[in-house]
Structure 1
Amino acid sequence: MKASKLTARSLAYALRAVGRKVAKARREAQTPHGKQSVKKLMAHGAATSSIEVDAPKVFDRVARKWNVDYAFYKTGPDKYLLFFKTGQADAMTACFSEYSRKVLDKSKSRRVPIREQLKRAADQLAKDKPRQKERVKEATHADR
């Protein structure tokens, strides 16, 4: 910065400029945490492991609680590979156990027992089917 006269305003301007450069350097040097791309996760330089996952949205919610670094890679329709740092294996174990418990609870809540299904089907048939009165033909004098 060039100035013929160093004033408070020019000094404040120079300090803000230096502060912005320092903050930018700090952001670039900081490694990302949480969900990220596989490329960024591999750039950390740490060893990684992977697990196959079916519901990434549920895992996202759980992983935020445990502050783990992870990345998803789509392998097929509704199939994902979850990459994570091997150094965070303890946190990942706890995180994955909570995730699996949530997935199992979700699948159990959707399942309806077979007897309940049969009962509902019988009730539905009874409602849909109009009742027919039994017609009994009475013998008339003409039939005799």
Structure 2
Amino acid sequence: MQGKTKNNKGKEIYKGKQSLKHLKAATNGNVESIEITDKNIRAFDCPARKYGVDYSIKKDKSVNPPRWLVFFKGKDADSLQAAFREFTAKKLKKQERPSVREQLKKFKEQAKNRVKTKTIKRDRGRDR
């Protein structure tokens, strides 16, 4: 649960990531969902908080690979689309970058294949 506050009547209001039960109670059952097949669903949390989306995430294990269902309030549809756009842009940007381990492996190979030339220069540094 991201956060909860109390309104002036003393009732708790949940914001951000929350349980499906609280989400349905806040919207009187008016909940929409979207399907995601990504493994790194936690990266979605940051853009969702940025756009103020109230959502709930459930894992559907009946299919292989498992898919994720994101439930959200019907009025948050535009905010959710903006959050997903930012989420996918970040994901694509990370995929375009080369892997650090692959770069390290390449540089190790270059270091092994490098010819070592050792020159000894003896100079006492005395000039007369």
Which consecutive unaligned segments of at least 5 residues does structure 1 have? 1-22, 128-144
1:60 is the counterpart of 2:42: no
Identify which of 40, 43, 52 aligns with 2:22.
Answer: 40
Asked which structure has the greater CA Rg, the reply is 1
Q: State the number of aligned residues.
A: 104
Greater helix proportion: 1
Q: Which runs of 5+ in 2 are unaligned?
A: 1-5, 115-128
Within the candidate set 89, 99, 123, 2:110 is matched to 123
Deviation of 1:54 after TM superposition, in Å, equals 3.0
Say which structure is richer in strand.
Answer: 2
Q: CA RMSD in A?
A: 3.5
Q: What residue in structure 2 maps to residue 99 of structure 1?
A: 87
Q: TM-score, normalised by structure 1?
A: 0.55
CA deviation profile, 1:3-55 (whole Å, cap 9, x unmatched): xxxxxxxxxxxxxxxxxxxx797342x43221001121122222312221432
Contact 2:7 2:13 in 1 (8 A): no
Task: Work out whether residues 48 and 83 of structure 2, in 8 Å CA contact, stay in contact via their aligned partners in 1.
Answer: yes
Percent of pairs identical after alignment? 31
